[in-house]
Amino acid sequence: MNAPKSTVLFVCVHNAGRSQMAAGWLRHLAGDRVEVLSGGSAPGEGINPVAVEAMHEVGIDIAANTPRALATDDVRASDVVITMGCGDACPIFPGKRYEDWELTDPAGQGIDTVRAVRDDIKARVEALVAEILPA
């Protein structure tokens, strides 16, 4: 019998840049072996177009994604909750793994800065995949 899939929730303020790029990387690297959720403490109107461009450069399409509000049920359902600059907006439940990734907010930044954020996120997601998925 297969072990249940881990669920990872990425949370940033607007759910328009960092958390969307992280979710895109995790879906790309782990495929359907991990359930991926994302949300924002104050969701934006749309995905950051520079983040879309930076991810497109590495073959990952996040253009059709839509920022959504952080849902308490998403936190409850997740095994790993990764926050990115949203402070204490995320509810805490016992037994969950929480990490706070300090990342530059790509909002209003140029492509070079957003590429650096994208690559930092990729390295962190790769490390996460190595930890939560069996070899």
Give the integer Cα–Cα distance in Å for 77 and 72.
9
Q: Clarify whether 66 is annotated catalytic.
A: no
Q: Clarify whether 88 is annotated catalytic.
A: no
Considering the candidates 86, 117, 121, 125, report the single residue annotated as catalytic: 86
Considering the candidates 8, 12, 82, 84, report the single residue annotated as catalytic: 12
**What's residue 43's pLDDT?**
93
What mean pLDDT do residues 11-27 have? 96
List, for residues 52-104, the tens digit of each pLDDT value: 999 999 999 999 999 999 999 999 999 999 999 766 566 777 888 999 999 99
List, for residues 21-57, the tens digit of each pLDDT value: 999 999 999 999 999 999 998 899 999 999 999 999 9
Going by C-alpha positions, the residue among 67, 92, 81 that lies closest to residue 35 is 81
Phi, psi at 41, each rounded to 5°: -75, -25
Number of helical (H) and strand (E) elements in the chain, helices listed first: 4, 4
What are the extents of the domains in the chain? 6-132
- The CATH number corresponding to 6-132 among 1.20.1600.10, 3.30.9.60, 3.40.50.970, 3.40.50.2300 equals 3.40.50.2300
Q: pTM to 2 decimals?
A: 0.93
Q: Clarify whether 17 is annotated catalytic.
A: no
Distance of alpha carbon 71 from the chain centroid: 14
